[in-house]
Copies of this chain bind each other. A is one copy, B any other.
Amino acid sequence: MTPLWSRGAFFYQVFPDRFFRSGPPGLPTPTGPFEPWEAPPSLRGFKGGTLWGVADKLPYLADLGVEALYLNPVFTSTANHRYHTVDYFQVDPVLGGNPALRHLLERAHSLGIRVILDGVFNHSGRGFFAFQHLLENGEKSPYRDWYRVHGFPLNAYGGAPNYEAWWGNPELPKFNHQNPQVRAYLLEVAEHWVRFGIDGWRLDVPNEIGDLEFWRAFRRRVKMANPEAYLVGEIWEEAQEWLQGDIFDATMNYPLARALLGFAGGEDLDRNLAAQSGLGPLEPLQALAFSHRLERLFGLYREEVVQSQLNLLTSHDTPRLLALLRGHRARARLALSLLFLLPGSPMVYYGEEIGMEGGHDPENRAGMVWEEGRWDRDLWERVRRMARLRKEFPELRTAPYTRVYAVDGHLAFARGRLLLVANATPEPFPQDLPLHGLWP
């Protein structure tokens, strides 16, 4: 069973280094040294956002209608995105450490907002203690079977790595998941943070591990600690085998993103920009083709899964929405509206709701803009209104998608007693829709 709370919940993705910087309540804001908040972000730079800061901005998120946060990795790391894990049991001191996460969880939960963390279990950073152990002791290390090493000494800081690494990147040595000690360690991490109070895990590159049994054990361990924990895998394609009920509750719904961008973006899509990201080749979609894509996607999984899928338009791994739409704000409003009107759990990437721009990493990871004068207020209002609509009409969370009309750029669909109408063109929508049989 997917958790009830996650079905249709409004998620908001926070990239912790870039959201808001503040210190513990009553104490000064950390000073770094950090890059200036407003400066263009860089691949290796830090802006010093903290989890204290995320907690301080919960009122903003609650007002927007947010029901759950997905945080990019928060554990101690050598990277600003923190996918280079150094310590799986410690929140990064730059983010405020474990006390800051504790504080954020308490504050979020008191507002009814859930929090899921990013779990990076395929590889560690080079700075992870077991890798450093191996690096310094070679085959004498008791950790010698924690990675897949092709020869000693390790060649980790120059030239090609002589160990398996994520996409051959020496910074990210891949764990040997066949080693029972490694499995035990990673599953302990999974359970530890659920017991600490998080509401679930977003799992990084789970398909790279290539062992579904690891993930089945992962699910059992997490659900034993909290049956209501939500597990969402970063799978960029259709994911039937992952969503049978024994592995994940959901995946990051990039296939839906591609369809939404194709329909809402139409001829204004920056297809080159998209093609250089994990989104891959996008194509403009007319309403009928779009609806066929949707119908296929919604048909792949059980209903509780469809309702739990993490629907999104963009993330830290793609260009920002406005960049993909070449700055067409009306198209952005349409895309975001549809995101909230389709079955599944809509997720907004921080700043998307106020029209932040930026292409590939690092541009898509700028410091969140808090100066309201620089916001796209229409877009922000739209997201806020859509979030309220979902609370007002439970059908938007539970009812299936039914196509009503799909011609050119005009789409109408029903969700229970609701009729939704989307117009991706400048032309007016036809007034007569074939509604017979839709309602009793």
Contacts and interface: CB of A to CB of B under 8 A. Distances in A.
A436 interface: no
A129 B76 contact: yes
A252 B347 CA distance: 61
Contacts of A144: 33
Contact of A127 (B34, B42, B46, B132): B132
A113 to B, nearest CB: 28
A44 B158 CA distance: 23
Interface stretch (A135-143, A273-281, A288-296): A135-143
Given A127-B132, A158-B158, A142 B87 contact: no
A94 B142 CA distance: 8
Contacts of A135: 78, 127, 157
A35 interface: yes
Contacts of A46: 137, 140-142
A126 interface: yes
Nearest to A136: B78
A48 interface: yes
Contacts of A44: 136-138, 140-141
A166 to B, nearest CB: 15
A91 interface: no
A241 to B, nearest CB: 34
Dominant secondary structure of chain A at its interface with chain B: loop
B127 A84 contact: no
A158 B158 CA distance: 10
Interface residues of A, number: 39
Given A78-B136, A136-B78, A156-B157, A142 B86 contact: no
**Copies of this chain present:** 2
Interface string A91-112: 0011000000000000000000
A338 interface: no
A40 to B, nearest CB: 13
A16 interface: no
B33 A129 contact: no
Nearest to A132: B127
A255 interface: no
B136 A45 contact: no
A344 interface: no
Contact of A126 (B33, B35, B136): B136
A42 B140 contact: yes
Contacts of A171: 136
A399 interface: no
Nearest to A185: B93
A145 interface: yes
Contacts of A94: 142
Residue of A32, A44, A132, A171 with most chain B CB atoms under a 10 A cut-off: A132
Contacts of A90: 89
A133 interface: yes
The interface centre, meaning the residue of A78, A87, A89 with most chain B CB atoms within 10 A of its CB, is A78
Contacts of A129: 76, 78, 86-87, 93, 127
Contacts of A42: 140
A153 to B, nearest CB: 9
Contacts of A145: 33
Interface in A43-89: 44-46, 48, 76, 78-80, 84, 86-87, 89
20 contacts: A42-B140, A44-B136, A44-B141, A45-B140, A46-B140, A46-B142, A78-B133, A78-B136, A78-B137, A79-B137, A80-B137, A84-B136, A125-B132, A125-B136, A127-B127, A127-B136, A135-B157, A157-B157, A157-B158, A158-B158
The 9 closest A-B CB pairs, nearest first, are A127-B132, A78-B136, A157-B157, A44-B140, A44-B137, A45-B140, A78-B133, A86-B129, A78-B132
